[in-house]
Amino acid sequence: MPGGPAYVIVGASLAGAKAAETLREEGFDGTIALVGQETERPYERPPLSKEYLRGECAMGDALLRPADWYTDNEIETLYGVRAIGIDTARKVVRLEDREGVNYDRVLIATGGANRRLSVRGADLEGIHDLRTFEDADRIRAAAQAGARAVVVGAGFIGCEVAASLRSFGVEVVVVEPLSAPLVRAVGPEVGALYEGIHRDHGVTIHLGESVSGFEGSGGRVEAVTTDRGRRIECDFAVVGVGIGPVTQVVEHTGVALDDGILVDEFCRTNVEGVFAAGDVANHWHPLFGRRLRVEHWDNALKHGAAAAKSMLAIAEPEPYDDPHWFWSDQYEYNLQLVGSATGWDELVVRGSLARRDFVAFYLKDGRVEAAVGVNRGREVRRAAALVKARRPFDPAALRDEDVDLKNLATAVAAGPGEN
C-alpha cells in the first residue's frame, strides 16, 4: 500500500497488534510497521500463569493471529527489534542496530516489565518471574511433584501461579507484605476469602511479611528469608511483585510521563502525532473522572482498538470510557471484576461470601464504583451498566437475589426513576 501515510506501532503486544488489526478493519490504506522486542508474534499473556503453565494448551493457542495474517494485511513486522527512541521533530522511530522507521503517527504499546526485588541473592539460579513463554517453560520444568516453591507476592500473578503449582503437587509457600491476597484489587473482605481458598488447597501463606533475601550454595537458591527472621527452604522461587510501564522509548522526547505515558480519553499524548495504549498508558477516564493505568487483557484489546480509531480520526474521535473488566481463574473458582474499586464506603453483597458464591458491589456515595463476583460472571458483566450509570442505587435492590441486574441496568438506560 505505497504512497499513503505511515503509521508505526512500537510494541508487538496485544494492544499493539489489536491496533494494527483495527487500522485495517477501519480501511486504513497506508503503511503499518509493527515493532516488537520479543521474537514471538503477538500473543495473549493470561494463559502463561494458568493453562499454558499447566501444559493444557500450546503456544500456538495463545497467538493472536497466524503469521500469514500479517503478510496478507500488508503489515510489516519487525520482531526481535528494540526501539531505542523517537525523534518527534523528524518523526522517526530509532531502532537498535538498524535504520529507523519514519512515521506520520506513532502508537506506543510497549506494555510493562516485571519489577525486580533488590535484595541479596536475587540473582541466584532457580528464581523465576513470569512474563513470557520461556519464563513459563522454566517454571513448569521446575514444578515437579514434591518440589518446594516460594511464591513472592499474592497479587493475581502470584495467586494464579500458586494455584497452578499446586496442581502439579508442588509444596507452595506464599510471602506477601500486605494484609491479604489481591487486597489492592478487591479489598480486605474478598482478599480474606482468597486467603482461605489457597489455604484450603494446601498453600502456606505468610501475610504482612516481606522477603529480605535469598540464600543458596553453588549459585542456586535454597531458601528465602523474610523481614521477620523466617527462613523458608525451597527448590525454586517465583517472584510476582507487579510490573512497571516501559516508557524508555519516549524519554527525552517531551512526552509527559507519570506512572506511564499520560494520554487523554482519546489515547493522545501531549505531543502531536504520538499516541499510547495498553499497560503503558496512564489514561484519563471520563467515567471515573481520574487517571487509570490498567494492566488487564480486556483493556489491552479495547484500548488498542480505541487508539487506532483515534489515530485515524479527522474530527474528534469517540472517548475511551470502558468501565474495565477482568477475570482470574484459581482452582475451581472464577473471579470477575468490572469497574475500578480503589475507594468505597460500603460493600454490598448479593449471595454469600462464606459459600464463595456472590457478587459484591463497591459503593461510594451510593454509586456502584465496581462489582466483583466469584462464579457469577454473567451478573458481573451485567453490572457494567450500573458502573457506567454514575448514579446512586438502593443497596437493598443490589443485595436482593430476586432483583434481576439486567432489569436494573435497563432501568438505568431508560433514565432516572425508581430502582
pLDDT of residue 313: 86
CATH 3.30.390.30: which residues of the chain? Answer: 332-414
Tell me how far apart the alpha carbons of residues 241 and 115 are, in angstroms, rounded to a whole number: 6
Tell me how far apart the alpha carbons of residues 142 and 181 are, in angstroms, rounded to a whole number: 24
- The H or E element that residue 274 is part of is strand 274-276
Regions of the chain short of the pLDDT cut 50:
1, 416-419
Residue 408 and residue 419 in contact, taking contact as beta carbons nearer than 8 Å = yes
Residue 362 and residue 187 in contact, taking contact as beta carbons nearer than 8 Å = yes
Residue 22 and residue 309 in contact, taking contact as beta carbons nearer than 8 Å = yes
Q: What is the CATH number of domain 332-414?
A: 3.30.390.30
Tell me how far apart the alpha carbons of residues 323 and 225 are, in angstroms, rounded to a whole number: 40
pLDDT tens-place string over residues 63-80: 999 999 999 999 999 999
Architecture of domain 116-241: 3-Layer(bba) Sandwich (3.50)
Note the Cα 137 to chain centre separation in Å.
Answer: 20
Residue of 327, 176, 196 lying closest to 241 (CA atoms): 176
Coil/strand/helix, residue 214: strand
Tell me how far apart the alpha carbons of residues 210 and 348 are, in angstroms, rounded to a whole number: 32
CATH 3.50.50.60: which residues of the chain? Answer: 6-113+244-312, 116-241
Residue range 6-113+244-312 forms a domain whose CATH class is alpha beta
- The H or E element that residue 64 is part of is none
Could you give the residue ranges of the DSSP H alpha helices within 76-179? 133-142, 156-167
Tell me how far apart the alpha carbons of residues 275 and 124 are, in angstroms, rounded to a whole number: 39
Note the Cα 20 to chain centre separation in Å.
Answer: 20
CA angle 174, 178, 183 (to 5 degrees): 95
Residue of 166, 178, 286 lying closest to 241 (CA atoms): 178
